[in-house]
Amino acid sequence: MRKVPRELFAPEVGLDEVYHPHRPVVTKRDANGNATSSVSAPQLQAHMLQQAEIGAGMRVLEVGSGGCNAALMAELVGHTGQVTTVDIDPDITDRARRLLDEAGYSRVQVVLADADGGVPEYAPYDGILVTAGAWEIPPAWVDQLAEGGCLLVPLSVLGLSRTIAFEKTGGCLVSRSATLFGFVPLQGAGAHESTRLVLRGGEVSVHLDDVPPAEFPVDPSVLERALDTPRVEVWSGATIGRFEPWATTQMWLATALPGFGRVVVDRERDTGLICPPGRHIAAVGTVSGGTLAYVTTRSTADDQEVEFGVHAFGPNAAELAEVVAGQLRIWARDHRGGPGPQFRVCPSGTPDDRLLPGGRVVDKPRSRISICWPQAVTAARSQNATEVGR
């Protein structure tokens, strides 16, 4: 990290900004002002490079160029390794090539292409590091990864993004670690838009991803009518620390609840109908037929913790709220503080017996993803969470 001069890759900003440990430097935006390329924050870069386990002599592919991260990888692989970086935007690759040359990293290969097809001319790769959010893992990435190699990718599954380190084993990918980071989405063939149901003139929108159409109402008027019914409120007894990560809570609900998604409030149109947790504008929830339920929180006697609750609207609001509350209790009993699930990605058409046993299966056009949770972390934690649930 000290060898690579970050300021050479973000000459438009001052040193305080480019060396801030937790802030990225946006280098390009689209016509709507959305970031399409950036120099990631140092803390994020360091974490991903460590998670990918990049070392001397490795052949590495970076998906999503910028220059700085490729230079860091070049330092890690050394002169006996090879770094290739690819991007779909010629502005980005031209900039990366120029800045890498100026910084003394001319040995890095910069390729202009849609990364959905990988870069076969320099394959196989010991590691592939993706620096843009992906909805699906293209088969080319798996094909061009050496057996036992690592693919590190910010992958969206059931609408939740996790940066997952996968190891290639027998044509499939098995996760070995996962962290919570956000990235700008991939462009090109790998781009994806989630289903978005806009309600009450834009005050509320429901975002659904990886949900078969049979599991949610395509017509937003169904949920419009649900929001006109009295709100049902159920409190679970399950708690979480005010500064405790929600990553496993959200992923557990996503894998346990059909129709899982996010309920988002437009603050400018907010009438107070939807009450997301804390000061957030979004809550995780589920749609079942014409009923909508989402997770919220309230204060407890312990000012360091909050209690999970469920708000629901629609003809089966009471039943759905109890189902969601029950899943929150299971999370608290079995998975709070635990390692989270394991992910396995196999080609589409893979039979069920090659997937993780007993897990949730998410079918995407070119792959099947199975998600499997461990058993209760310890008997002591399980017993404690059961008491909390009572």
Residue 37 is among the residues annotated as catalytic for this protein: no
Ordered domains of the chain (ranges, CATH): 6-190 (3.40.50.150), 195-338+377-389 (no CATH)
Longest CA–CA separation in the chain, Å: 67
Q: What is the pTM of this model?
A: 0.86
Q: Where in the chain does DSSP place strands (E)?
A: 25-29, 35-39, 59-63, 82-87, 109-112, 125-130, 145-157, 160-169, 172-179, 195-199, 204-208, 232-241, 260-265, 282-288, 291-299, 305-313, 342-347, 360-364, 367-372
CA distance 107 to 82: 8
Whole-number pLDDT of residue 35: 65
SS3 at position 249:
helix
Q: How many CA atoms lie within 13 A of 285 on its CB side?
A: 32
Whole-number pLDDT of residue 196: 85
CA distance 245 to 308: 14
The pair of three-digit structure tokens given for residue 46, joined into one six-digit string: 């360091």
β pairing state of 109-112 and 82-87: parallel
Over its length of 390 residues, how does the chain's per-residue pLDDT go in tens digits? 999 999 999 888 889 998 998 888 777 777 777 666 777 889 989 999 999 999 999 999 999 988 999 999 999 999 999 999 999 999 999 999 999 999 999 999 999 999 999 999 999 999 999 988 899 999 999 999 999 999 999 999 998 999 999 999 999 999 999 988 766 666 776 677 778 889 999 999 999 887 766 666 667 888 999 999 999 999 999 999 999 989 999 999 999 998 899 999 999 999 999 999 988 999 999 999 899 999 999 999 999 999 999 999 999 999 999 999 999 999 999 999 888 999 999 999 999 888 888 789 999 999 999 999 986 333 333 444 344 344
Q: 4: part of which helix (H) or strand (E)?
A: none
Q: Are 65 and 57 in contact (CB under 8 A)?
A: no
| Integer CA distances (angstroms), 335 to 62, 252, 306, in order | 33, 8, 17
| Integer CA distances (angstroms), 168 to 146, 176, 260, 388, in order | 7, 10, 29, 40
Q: At what angle do helices 90-103 and 68-77 cross, to 10 degrees?
A: 50
Which of 40, 65, 175, 288 is flagged as catalytic?
40
Q: At what angle do helices 379-389 and 317-334 cross, to 10 degrees?
A: 150
Q: Are 109 and 83 in contact (CB under 8 A)?
A: yes
**Phi/psi zone of residue 303: left (φ > 0), alpha (ψ -120 to 50 degrees), beta?**
alpha
β pairing state of 305-313 and 204-208: unpaired
Whole-number pLDDT of residue 390: 40
Whole-number pLDDT of residue 132: 85
Give the Cα-Cα-Cα angle 38, 43, 48 (nearest 5 degrees). 80
**Contacts with 280 (C-beta within 8 Å, 6 or more apart), sequence order:** none
Whole-number pLDDT of residue 383: 42
Whole-number pLDDT of residue 213: 61
Whole-number pLDDT of residue 387: 42
